[in-house]
Structure 1
Amino acid sequence: MSEVAEAPRLLPLTGGFNLRDMGGYATADGRRVKRGMLFRSGTMTLLTSEDEAHLVSLGIRTVCDLRRPGERDREPTRWCEPAGIHYFARDYAEASGVLSELLKQGKGGAEGMRQAMINLYRDIPQDHAPSYRHMFARLLAGEAPLLFNCSAGKDRTGFGAMLILHALGVPRETILEDYLDTNTHADFQRLFDGGAASVKRMAEFDRAMLAPVMAADADYLASAYDHLDAQHGGVDAYLADVIGVGPSERERLIALLVD
């Protein structure tokens, strides 16, 4: 078992969904991402009041919500603004990462859904760049601990996590393990049973079609890497040219977020 798999990082919350600490990962030079500074999550609408109080106690200063307006309206994040925590959300119409929208297209059965997911990871870097720019700007301003989320904490959040860990010097194989951990920690059945709006419409679809949509698949993330290589000259160039995180910014992030 790898060091990544051994490190406990899922937060002990009754209503958390795929909410975990990204700290503890080793960088290529043998250092470690700080614990308690970076958190990734899915929907937070099922958090109990005790869960919300626990998150506030962690000293989180920024929450970046990557969801569309309708997703936020159906499953509001209630805890951060009353606590004075900076809450960022962006109004946009693009459907990339909204799994129920993908399923409504229903093309080609399960394999068609899997191919649609691969294609989706070519759209996320462009569609959600403004959100990632804000997220990195907050980190560079020292406004961490930072939590970022989407509905499943898998696709929009997964790509954002890849960017952060890459910027901090975490190797690609470790980034992939962090991405694939969604398959262990995202309990979609609990969302179905709890009546969460993000999956209510998804429950109407055949489970064979649902499987590739709910999965974190290595080929999905590989599709994003391939797209960045082909369209931007790689992750480093995308970070510098699109997100505004060049070598000097990465040095600052490392100083802030790596031990």
Structure 2
Amino acid sequence: MNDKGLINFRDIGGLKVPTGVLRPDYFYRSGQISGITPEQSEFLQNDCRIRDVYDFRSTDEVEQAPDTDLVHAKYYHIDILSDKTSNGASLGAMITDGSQVRQNMLKTYESIVLSESARKGYHDFMMGLLSDNAPILFHCFAGKDRTGFAAAVILRGAGADDQQIMDDYMLTNKLRVQANKDILNRFKSEMNQQQLDNLHTALMVDSDYLKHAQDVLLDHFGTFDHYLQNGLDLPSDYIAQFRNKFVVKS
């Protein structure tokens, strides 16, 4: 599928899992869709048939760059990291002095698993999926951390293994090459080399981040099922409902 140049855009469906295939042409993830072209809008509306858009960005991020309205689509703003005083996943917070970027990212992933706003946000998102009957798009700013974790939860819920989940997660680095170059060029004149290097690091995903999130999840909840039930407050038969609806026989 030609993604019309949408940033970090992909369908995470079509994946073979033990009980079948995760429904293709249904779960789309991306970076923010503010200021997209009419051709890109048409692609999302008509080719992908997006009917629900879930935006995981902070209120500030949304105000600075509102999503382009898609005809026929409902819009849901879920601020995953509103509990964090400084939103480590926003562009502004990525630009730090010193070499704290990796530490900041690891802390951000802890918040993505444990913070109240993230747990409520992912609860609302995952419950929303059960009542959705048409394709959805979910995104944040870069489509890499808040969105990357949401994709991992969907894939795990479908029965995907660690490697399949990591492959989708790491694809971000390949799909964001041009977007990251554009951001770095935009800041070239106002940053020193150290800051540019920090920003470049912050714009990438690292397998350690997702592994850290998984470790934190298992430390606090014991199992993925317990994370869904006790962390996200989802029904005990959530996975059965999800697979019944979204895993199709291959």
TM-score w.r.t. length of structure 1: 0.83
- In 1, the alpha carbon distance for the partners of 2:106 and 2:55 equals 23
Residue number among 72, 86, 89 corresponding to 1:97 in the alignment? 89
Question: Quick one: which of 8, 23, 27 aligns to 2:13?
Answer: 23
Task: Please say if residues 26 and 170 of structure 1, whose CA atoms lie closer than 8 Å, have aligned partners that are also in contact.
Answer: yes
Q: Where do residues 198-213 of structure 1 align in structure 2 (5 Å cutoff)?
A: 204=191, 206-213=195-202
How many residues get paired?
238
Matched, 1:192 2:183: yes
Q: Please state if 1:78 is matched with 2:68.
A: yes
Post-superposition shift, 1:233?
A: 1.4
- Please say if 1:235 is aligned against 2:227: no
Of the three residues 234, 242, 245, the one matched with 1:253 is: 242
Q: Measure, in 2, the Cα distance between the counterparts of 1:184 and 1:142.
A: 30
Q: Structure 2 stretches of 5 or more lacking a match?
A: none
Q: Give the AA of the match of 1:114.
A: R
Question: Equivalent residue for 1:120?
Answer: 108
The match for 2:144 is: 154
In the alignment, the residues of structure 1 paired with residue 61 and residue 214 of structure 2 have an alpha-carbon distance, to the nearest angstrom, of: 27
Counterpart secondary structure, 2:16:
coil
Aligned to 1:12: 3
Counterpart Cα distance in 2 of 1:43 and 1:202: 24
1:167 matched to which residue of 2? 157
Q: Percent identity?
A: 27
Q: Distance in 2 between matches of 1:243 and 1:201?
A: 41
SS at match of 1:40: strand
State how far apart, in whole Å, the 1-side matches of 2:54 and 2:204 are.
23
RMSD, aligned CA:
2.3
Q: Decide whether the 8 Å contact of 1:138 with 1:144 is kept in 2.
A: no
The worse-fitting range, judged by mean Cα deviation, of 165-174 and 186-195 is 186-195
Supply the distance in 1 between the matched residues of 2:149 and 2:102 (Cα, whole angstroms).
Answer: 17
Unaligned runs of 5+ in 1: 1-8
Query: How far did 1:59 drift?
Result: 2.0
Query: AA paired with 2:183?
Result: F
